[in-house]
Chains A and B, each alone.
Chain A
Amino acid sequence: MTDSPYVDQPDHAFWRSAVAETSPLDLQSIYKRRWPIEADWKIATAGSCFAQHIARYMKAADYTVMDVEPKPNGLPEADAPRFGYGIFSARYSNIYTARQLLQLVREALGQTHPVNLIWEKDGRYYDSRRPGIEPGGFESAAELLDHRVFQLRHVRQMLEEMDLLIFTLGLTETWEHTASGTVFPTAPGTIAGQFDPNIYSFRNFTFAEVYDDLTTVLDLLKAHRDTPLKVLLSVSPVPLTATAEDHHVLQSSTYSKSVLRAVAGQLRTEREDVDYFPSFEIVTNPAARGVFYAPNLRSVTPAGVACVMRSFFAEHAGCNAAQDPTTPKPVTDEDDGDDVVCEEAMLEAFGK
């Protein structure tokens, strides 16, 4: 007979000591980095709304966060996010699903040509892959294509040059162009386009599909690049605004996050070049009793983001020695948690 196999487990392995009796602001050992992020690494960021926070903090800590598609010099900083600039490493806006990421990578590498790219509304033209980047739409289809060609050239540059991709998984639910399988960040008809059930259909990706999509992305990049690439995955703690399933939204949200979390874990287990950062767990920690969520119980408060990033910087100390990266400098009292650009929130305008 031997003692229980749990006897030698550290404190953080036990719910009572690690969660129930620990301040949610001070979770120890919830994240152990797999590899350091070197100061000279070029870092690309992409993903759902929550990834915008990570990008801002990393910039503030003087990491080399790529911006391959910067705003025009004279566009005021305050106007830049409205046009999709400065949010992620290129002007691709939110990438909620693994399929969206795969689609972008394939298009940027010249492996696919876009189908159902242009949506119209009131005589204006919208890029269906990123309908929110031009608030009033483009003047013409030709102008939209100019912007798209410009973007793809720069995304390709990003994919070739980045040393680390930080990708935050957001959703499993999406709308697709049924004939081609093209997916979109918003349902047709939300910002632009028209919803036609004969053309578009709802998809809710399974574990296998998300896993296959991300694996394909990683394999494509590996085949295309000469240098090693690291990938840091996280899962957005922001719940679904709405579900298209015939389920309670809480059930759908739990499904979506569970699948994404499981895929991230699976990939971390299988691949040395993949790490997982538990932003989802930090924010949804029951010990926090929802305090990290804004009154809408979706948006993460500045305090919640700061708490997440403290755990991150505890393992990745940041490049700026003069500035304590655990101090939430980029976030001011004026931030209310809704300042991130999130097309998904557009759905609220259609909510009951």
Chain B
Amino acid sequence: MSRVCIIGNSHLGAFKLALDAGDMPGISDRYEFDTFGSIRASILQTRIVSQRLVPTRKDVTENFERTSGGQSEIDLGQYSAFVIAIRNSPFWIRPFLADTQIMPISRAMVAAIHRNFLDDWSIDLTARIAEVVPKARVFFVGRPLNTQKDKVARKLLRQFDGPDEHSQVAIKDTVLQYLADAVASQPVAPKVDLVRPPNHLLEPHRLFTLAKYARGAQDADTGLKQVFKDDDTMHMNGAYGREMLTHMLAPL
């Protein structure tokens, strides 16, 4: 059995729920999983020492222990794959909008925005993990794309229904193509994938997660004890976690 390490913040919850449900043909029987979570951006408070990801702050140590079943550090070398679910997704559309408005963006601008994304500490951490465990596949997923009920989503999706529908949709499709090209042309490191959620988890414009995947999402920051508010558009449920794990791991 290969071992997979999932590192995340509150968005770890979707993966934990999926693992607890155990309903993943082709995944559950091939992989063993460990999960490590710490709230918000606190995973920044870690360093890599001799193939181990070691918290440098007590609260992160405690969070790791609580979410992994007692492990205070991550022994990176024992894993053949990592899933990293912290910070933003590179495929989140908001950075490519003017406020909440779709706008034409050139390939060079998209590349500049993506370069800025790659400067984030979460990508640096991802690259360092890949560097110390070169045999492992590293999947960076960031946080899920907000659902179609999100405030930005509702404002944006309305623009695709307006009188300019055709050109707005065409502009959006161009931005998505340029973004895909930017991701492909600016690799983080060998064996690191920036993972875009598969289309069947997304609404037809491929920008936001289908609302049904947010239902019943639970907060990993509270040890999965707290169910997020009904209007939470950011945290996903176990079905989402299952689909994402299958999307990433089944082809391996």
Partner-B contacts on A (CB < 8 A): 69-76, 79, 83, 134-136, 138-139, 143, 146-147, 149-150
Contact A75 B109 (CB under 8 A): yes
**7 closest residue pairs by CB, A with B:** A74-B95, A74-B113, A146-B104, A79-B112, A147-B104, A76-B116, A70-B98
Contact B108 A134 (CB under 8 A): yes
Contact A73 B167 (CB under 8 A): no
B contact patch SS: helix
Contact A75 B103 (CB under 8 A): no
Contact A75 B107 (CB under 8 A): no
Contact A75 B113 (CB under 8 A): yes
**A69 to B107, alpha carbons, bound, how many Å?**
18
Interface string of B202-242 (1 = CB under 8 A from A): 00000000000000000000000000000000000000000
Cβ contacts under 8 Å, A136 to chain B:
108
Q: Please name 24 pairs of A and B residues whose Cβ atoms are closer than 8 Å in the assembled complex, sorted by A.
A: A70-B99, A72-B97, A72-B98, A73-B94, A73-B96, A73-B97, A73-B99, A74-B94, A74-B95, A74-B113, A75-B116, A76-B112, A79-B112, A79-B116, A83-B108, A83-B109, A83-B112, A134-B108, A139-B107, A143-B104, A146-B104, A146-B167, A146-B171, A147-B104
A184 to chain B, nearest CB (A): 20
B106 contacts A by Cβ under 8 Å: yes
B110 to chain A, nearest CB (A): 9
Q: A70-B98, A74-B94, A79-B116 are in contact. List 14 more A-B contacts (CB 8 A).
A: A70-B99, A72-B95, A72-B96, A72-B98, A72-B103, A72-B109, A73-B97, A73-B98, A74-B96, A75-B116, A83-B106, A139-B106, A143-B106, A147-B104
Chain B, range 95-133, C-beta contacts under 8 Å to A? 95-99, 103-109, 112-113, 116-117
B174 contacts A by Cβ under 8 Å: yes
Contact A74 B98 (CB under 8 A): no
- Most chain B CB atoms below 10 A, which of A75, A135, A136: A75
Partner-A contacts on B (CB < 8 A): 94-99, 103-109, 112-113, 116-117, 167, 170-171, 174
Cβ contacts under 8 Å, B171 to chain A:
146
Contact B95 A73 (CB under 8 A): yes
Contact B105 A72 (CB under 8 A): yes
Cβ contacts under 8 Å, B167 to chain A:
146, 149
Contact A69 B98 (CB under 8 A): yes
Cβ contacts under 8 Å, B105 to chain A:
72
A76 to chain B, nearest CB (A): 5
Cβ contacts under 8 Å, A138 to chain B:
106
A91 to chain B, nearest CB (A): 10
**A139 to B107, alpha carbons, bound, how many Å?**
8
Cβ contacts under 8 Å, B116 to chain A:
74-76, 79
Cβ contacts under 8 Å, A70 to chain B:
98-99
**A298 to B96, alpha carbons, bound, how many Å?**
37
**A143 to B103, alpha carbons, bound, how many Å?**
12
Cβ contacts under 8 Å, B174 to chain A:
143
Chain B residue, CB-CB nearest to A140 = B174
Chain A residue, CB-CB nearest to B178 = A139
Chain A residue, CB-CB nearest to B114 = A74
Contact B98 A71 (CB under 8 A): yes
A87 to chain B, nearest CB (A): 15
Cβ contacts under 8 Å, B108 to chain A:
83, 134-136
Q: A70-B98, A70-B99, A146-B167 are in contact. Are A75 and B104 (CB under 8 A)?
A: no
